[in-house]
Structure 1
Amino acid sequence: MAEIAQEEGAGDIGRATTAPRKSSWRYIGPGIVVAATGVGAGDLVATLIAGSKFGYTLLWAAVIGCVVKISLAEAAGRWHLATGRTLFDGWRSLGAWTTVYFVGYVVVWGFVYGAAAMSSSALPLGALFPDLLDLKVWAVLCGLVGLVFVWFNRYAVFEKVMTVLVGVMFLVTVYLAVRVTPHLGEALAGLVPVLPDGSLVYTLGLIGGVGGTITLAAYGYWVNAKGWRDTGWMKVMRLDNRVAYLTTGIFVVAMLFVGAELLHSSGLALAKGDKGLIDLGGILAERYGDATSKLFLIGFFATSFTSLIGVWHGVSLMFADFVAHYRPALVPEGTPRDRSKPFRAYLLWLTFPPIALLFLDQPFGLVIVYGVIGAFFMPFLALTLVRLLNSSRTPAEWRNGILSNVMLGAAGLLFVVLCVEQVRQLPW
């Protein structure tokens, strides 16, 4: 009955269970959601290109990247469970500047990301059904399907669908990694940290880029939506988080194998951006036949669409929480966040205004603003978590230890470097 009560409360903020829970695989869910949302088509391309350029040499960077993301997501989940407060509530306690930043981020980032997510989901569908619909029509349909799915379903259904899509992603990428026959000896050698000439940017990208941006901040909200709202769920949350990013690690390593064996060994190159994955589909068709190529495109779609619906749900939850702090009348007490007006308003913002960008090819100035704001989010997340989890805002028992501080501090510095590099490369 405890499990039934917990699921019925999913989506409500404030109800809590106090009985300690043992770590158990049957509770796993929010971590799978955050990991699936965070790994998008762009991450696949970055991993494939790193493998194509440097073979297995940067495998160690992909592993470290997963450890970094485990630390960040664990910190976000720990804040929610230890304090009973949301992450936005914590940011707000640091000063009004955090609110200004958050609002600017979700408005501009959401506008441009909506178009990017729809386009990314449309590409594999256009490749699978080349003569059926125009690519822009596929993109609009993906956005509308995501809108309807998130609008009408509660967290429990959302999590189950995400888990199925993650299973598809995982099986396809592992199958491809096995299909290209990796050299395990060379792969093991890639676990030794080495920086070949010209690899710094790719290394930083593998460590910092795979596995999410604002979706890492959404993890605590999904933890609450699952019904985990106090420290009795801490062990469960940590297991959930580790399993999720172990899965992500295998996923990333598998794509690195494909890049190393299929592209690096043959001297082949992919186009930058999501279209590089269509290039890979063509290469797979030539080497292994149409069936393998189509299977890859299905995995590509699952990867892109999980990111779309994950952002549609998770960032909308965060926006609803923001509105609840400043306009409580719009989110009456006891109203599930995923049934509130602000949640649905942000869903509409992610879906309809970005459709215009699909036909305007993303105005130049907006892309620059999006790039700058997006680059600053990960250092913002890492460094504010360091501040929150070392202060009296967090109960002493659940504050950062030495390891957590080292990992979050290192993540913060890493993301500052990536931020500077990303801003430097913008088309000013």
Structure 2
Amino acid sequence: MADSIKPAIVNEDGGTPPKWKVIGPGLVVAATGVGAADMVATLVAGNKYGYGLLWAVIVGVIMKIVLVEGAGRYSLATGKTIFEGWRTLGKWTTWYFGPYIIIWGFVYGATAMSSAALPLAALMPAVDLRIWAVLMGLAGFTLVWLGRYAFFEKVTAVLVGIMFVTVVGLAVIAAPNLPEMLRGLVPLIPEGGLFYTLALAGGVGGTITLAAYGYWLREKGWITPKWMRVMRIDNSMAYVMTGIFVISMLIVGAEVVSAAGVSLTSGDRGLLDLSDVLADRYGQFIGTGFLVGFWAASFSSILGVWNGVSLMFADFWGHMRGKAAGHADTLVGGKYFKFYLLWLTFPPIILVMLGKPVGLILAYGVLGSLFMPFLALTLLGLLNGKRIEKAWANKLHTNIALGVTALLFIALGVQQLIKALSPLLGG
């Protein structure tokens, strides 16, 4: 364990290292959170509303900076994991989180594999989509099972580089309308677009992996309050990059998809539609290049979840077994970590091959819609009062920001809950 927590980036004089050398866990959590579904949602927003929701994207980036900074600050200030913190809020947190992480992992495993397989099946259609999906799951499993955190972070950085160059390059080629973009900074909600606006703001790089940030800080070796400033730089710069990425997708939706006059298929397959549009407009090289970026976005999510959520489960199960945080069984390579890694990879292959049962998807939708409100509200509890030293507790403006974020995710959660339950309610 000593090697895994050794501070990795301190200058010889003990000062803070250059900003470009502190990018690490923040980039991982941001990259993991931006998947194919977020890309499609942003494209559709650009297509339907032009640059009118640009402000919502920026609000979303700010909210994620606040949430991830809160999770990181709690871990550095207390030396505890986020799950240890949740337990101090009452047993209800354990009763919620335990079933959630099991059901979520089972369904997300199949979803992530299929998402990463789609662009590969489009590029090499001779191989069946389901085969590609299984290969993607096995590739993620192997890289996370055998690799330590430093290797995992480097691979993620390469994938982020591919995503970034591909999508930002497309935005430059699409030639954004700058005056319209400036008008899009004015907060206006399109007619009938309230929940779509909320969804766009809430979906900028937001998944369960936001809560995994503290675990990646530990793996990086950032484990005490002296890393607080470094953590904040890491988190902010990573989500600024995410913002540029998502704004670029909005530009492509506003300029390319709108001009083509097409309707994108819902879900991940909408990116295949975009690839066809790009190939028709700019040539096959650009269309193929976008498929590579699509794959990089999807596969980075596989790696991030396979690593980060496995760490969260290992910590949860270790505490259920009476083992302290940091016990060998709860770390990367430990038996609890490996169990969840197996759970994410192999049982979901059944769903890939047979399709996803409606009942399981319903349960996933119900639980999933309530996780982000859970994170926002519990951070308010953990970052105030006796659970954290006064020096690191929330200031008034931070409480306001977290409170607004919590209200937004509660509204989103209720809307998604109604949507998930509508088949049972005859909707």
Residue of structure 2 in register with 1:15 after alignment? none
1:110 aligns with 2:102: no
**What percentage of residue pairs aligned between the two structures are identical?**
56
CA deviation map 1:328-384 (0-9, x unaligned): 469884567001100000000000111111122110111000000000000000000
**CA RMSD, Structure 1 to Structure 2 (Å):** 1.8
1:259 aligns with 2:253: yes
- 5+ long unaligned stretches in structure 2: 8-13
1:362 aligns with 2:390: no
Q: Which segment is superposed worse, 186-195 or 30-39?
A: 186-195
Written as runs of structure 1 = structure 2, the 5 A alignment for 1:38-49 is: 38-49=33-44
Written as runs of structure 1 = structure 2, the 5 A alignment for 1:387-406 is: 387-406=381-400
Q: Which segment is superposed worse, 260-269 or 351-360?
A: 260-269
Residue of structure 2 in register with 1:16 after alignment? none
> Structure 2 vs 1, CA of residues 142 and 39 (structure 1 numbering), >3 Å: closer, same or farther?
same
Q: Distance in 2 between matches of 1:265 and 1:141?
A: 36
Q: Is the 8 A contact 2:76 2:225 kept in 1?
A: yes
| AA aligned opposite 2:105 | G
| AA aligned opposite 2:44 | I
Residue of structure 2 in register with 1:298 after alignment? 292
Q: Is the 8 A contact 2:330 2:337 kept in 1?
A: no
| AA aligned opposite 1:388 | L
Aligned residues: 416
Written as runs of structure 1 = structure 2, the 5 A alignment for 1:256-335 is: 256-328=250-322, 333=327
Look up the SS of the partner of 2:336 in the other structure: helix
Residue of structure 2 in register with 1:36 after alignment? 31
Residue of structure 1 aligned with 2:223, choices 216, 229, 240: 229
Written as runs of structure 1 = structure 2, the 5 A alignment for 1:65-144 is: 65-131=60-126, 133-144=127-138
Q: Is the 8 A contact 1:10 1:156 kept in 2?
A: no
| AA aligned opposite 1:24 | K
Q: Which segment is superposed worse, 325-334 or 109-118?
A: 325-334
Residue of structure 2 in register with 1:416 after alignment? 410
1:180 aligns with 2:174: yes
Q: Distance in 2 between matches of 1:335 and 1:206?
A: 38
Quote the offset at 1:27 in angstroms: 2.1
Q: What is the TM-score normalised by the length of structure 2? A: 0.94
Q: Is the 8 A contact 1:78 1:398 kept in 2?
A: yes
Q: What is the TM-score normalised by the length of structure 1? A: 0.94
Q: Distance in 2 between matches of 1:23 and 1:316?
A: 31
Q: Distance in 2 between matches of 1:21 and 1:263?
A: 44
Look up the SS of the partner of 1:273 in the other structure: coil
CA deviation map 1:265-317 (0-9, x unaligned): 44321010000000000111111111000000000000000001100000000
> Structure 2 vs 1, CA of residues 145 and 425 (structure 1 numbering), >3 Å: closer, same or farther?
same
Q: Is the 8 A contact 2:318 2:330 kept in 1?
A: no
- 5+ long unaligned stretches in structure 1: 13-18
1:168 aligns with 2:168: no
Residue of structure 2 in register with 1:27 after alignment? 22
Q: Is the 8 A contact 2:55 2:186 kept in 1?
A: yes
Q: Is the 8 A contact 1:22 1:235 kept in 2?
A: no
Q: Is the 8 A contact 1:330 1:340 kept in 2?
A: no
Residue of structure 1 in register with 2:10 after alignment? none
| AA aligned opposite 1:323 | W
Quote the offset at 1:197 in angstroms: 1.0
